[in-house]
Chain A
Amino acid sequence: MTTTVSTTAALALGDDALVLSHRLGEWAGHAPVLEEEVALANIALDLLGQARVLLSLVGDEDELAYLREERAFRNVQLVEQPNGDFAHTILRQLYFSTYQHLLYAELAAGDGPFAPLAAKAVKEVAYHRDHAEQWTVRLGDGTDESHERAQRACEALWRFTGEMFRPVEGLDVDGAALEAAWLESVEGMLRRATLTVPEGPRSGAWRAGAGRQGLHTEPFGRMLAEMQHLHRSHPGASW
């Protein structure tokens, strides 16, 4: 595959994976059950692996991860949202992994520059999606408390979901078709989980697609401060 990779697209996909991986890494030692320690770390590792491949297509993975400031990150705002309770983490996973699975399946089927990466990653994200779906139905159709928490999470994250389908330069996919497939799948899962599909807008009031332009939510800067602190404290050191 000799097609040139678009820097914009590689950064967008790479930052999504990097940031979500970081958030999932925050769960280590805090999960509700030992099996979820394994599962969440497993998903975080897969995503980190994807991020490293994608960022390396653009430049030095560590320079890109540790030395860019908030305004230079191109991830969607969904993935930078704080973990919240387990329901928030699971709904964020459902929304994102469904998108990522549909996207990678399409990229893997094509012959664009991301096809080789997508061919490997699609197997991983199919597992992530299954994990999120299984938990969505358990939380939604579990107890009254879990149902309520899942419903709250559904709604709180809903407004961040539109951004994933905005066009990204160099990413040759039909956003509208992807969005339709995503809506069908996610709405179906929410119904199966006895949850109500949120009615609110699917993008923030002030800027749709803001994360891809480097406009992030407030928790993101704090996340980067923690992630980058040690690396930045030792300029030029290797680890």
Chain B
Amino acid sequence: SGGKGESTRTILRVVILFLIAGAAVASRLFSVIRFESIIHEFDPWFNFRATKYLVANGFESFWDWFDDRTWHPLGRVTGGTLYPGLMVTSGVIYHALRALTIPVDIRNICVLLAPAFSGLTAFSAYLLTNEMTTSPSAGLLAAAFMGIAPGYISRSVAGSYDNEAIAIFLLVFTFYLWIKALKLGSMLWGALCALFYGYMVASWGGYAFITCLLPLHAFVLICMGRYSTRLYVSYTTWYALGTLASMQIPFVGFLPVRTSEHMPALGIFGFLQLLAFLDYVRSAIPGRQFQTFLFFSTAGIFGIGLLGLVIATSAGFIAPWGGRFYSLWDTSYAKIHIPIIASVSEHQPTAWPAFFFDLNMLIWLFPAGVYLCFQNLRDEHVFIVVYALFGSYFAGVMVRLMLTLTPVVCVAAAIAVSSILDSYLNAKSPSPEEVAAAEESKPAKQSALKQASKPVVGVYSLLSKTVVTTAMLIYLLIFVLHCTWVTSNAYSSPSVVLASRMPDGSQHIIDDYREAYQWLRQNTKEDAKIMSWWDYGYQIGGMADRPTLVDNNTWNNTHIATVGKAMSSREEVSYPIMRQHEVDYVLVVFGGLLGYSGDDINKFLWMVRIAEGIWPDEVKERDFFTARGEYRIDGEATDTMKNSLMYKMSYYNYNTLFPPGQAVDRVRGARLPDTSPTLNTMEEAFTSENWIIRIYKVKDLDNVGRDHAAA
């Protein structure tokens, strides 16, 4: 009957895992069912465009694709400046489905890629947790948590075709393979770990997290005196193969030997060689003095290595940390030196409610799970502890890194819940007499005092079992409700279409973005250059299919500052800039009529700041504030503000919508003057239904050579 119970359990496991995968996929489909199957947000539009290019032109031309329709007039060497993992994955799926005679549109594959991979993420969380504990339920709980936790759903709903869609699966799976390799001390598992690490490097810039976490884990193990030959085999195999694998990606190239982010991995690699050698010598020659000598020489060489690294970094052989990475340590660095990093909303520190919102009860089970890891501290538990510490720190510094914290929270919380359930869900109660008898029958190795002080442990009463189990069950159910509610209300709205409710409760869709992009696509010539703020670069490239000046890949800060200067200067200054860059149309986003707060007037100060960083004499942030230091757009606004191109383009003819004296900006809550700003160098080409997107055509030079204001 033992065999039969075993097979029943296996079937149950498989069924439960399939149900979890089903729930993970289903809970991500809100936006597809409510709206339609489209790509959301900004970045995914570039990924989608690149995937279409890959599918249409094949892998080789994708690999060295020079894109001349972005960053006009510079262009972008796309093949060497992207992580190709996501596109290649969906390209492979596309061709595999075609080979199976299931021709699916590439857009649907891109939209549904993230939900599909979330099922795999849940499965790898199951595998990872099973390595941590012997409890049969922990893995399944972790899979269930991982499947529906909003912290992960927020980046992987259907339509969110971003790198994180597959990267989190690869992250968790690489960690699983690492733990497996470390436990078995097997080269093959180390090599598998390196291969998946390579895949992760190909997919997401967050691979640096793995590159730093694995050496840190190894280092902590060494410091705890847990160096073993298994650690040597698994780490060095991973490093040797993984580093070579990561260097195959053109975007990464020589970074693994040249930048500071990768130096911990190299340092631990060298340190392990030394340790292995000393370990061998120690086994060869016994002797107490020699061991102390070993200890000191190890510490000494480690110190010298660290010193050499510092010297090499300061001498410039090794590049220092990049700005994005550095701002994780010095949290005020980005705000002072690199406004473009600080201007992104998801690079802000996390507030407390966000942790509860994204993880609900997992966040208070998480420390308990980490504590339980301390109780039987084996090598793999050290990993969870290290990961938990660093994951929490990074998630506290930056909102978007909540994503890398979520896997370890799910694993630790699952360990905590399963240990509660294992203790309280055991139907067989020990009777006190039996326990006492068992205690007495043990050989009297322990001292009498110790035995006397030891309480009789065990859960006896059925009542306490029922109460605790029921409470846990209710929490779990509430967790499911919370996750569904959060996913449905907070994370399932495509930013391309804005949904609002009519007074009778029916849904009203505001579709101005696509209206305007479609207008651009159909009514402008094929190579008309569009100037807009960088936020909309990818969407214009993806939906309107027109060349842009700047886009969300903010690789050239000066070029962005040029656009910022053109937007924030007087027309006489902006017009030559736009002529020089062959701009045909200028696109601004204006939410004043509808109360849409994410518009360009609210982003305007960032344009000013970024432009001021390059031309401090020509653009000054101070000039955009009133004498009392207020940022105003009504009659009291400063002259610099009123004469800036952005202000003029946003409010051009806006007062004609209202009766005299009634023109109101609903976002800023301000009453506007009755006269419209005058635009001399450009003419209004298109304004969408709700005035969210306004497109202006840049006028040609005057026929008889006058300047535009005189003409």
Q: Do chains A and B stick together as partners?
A: no
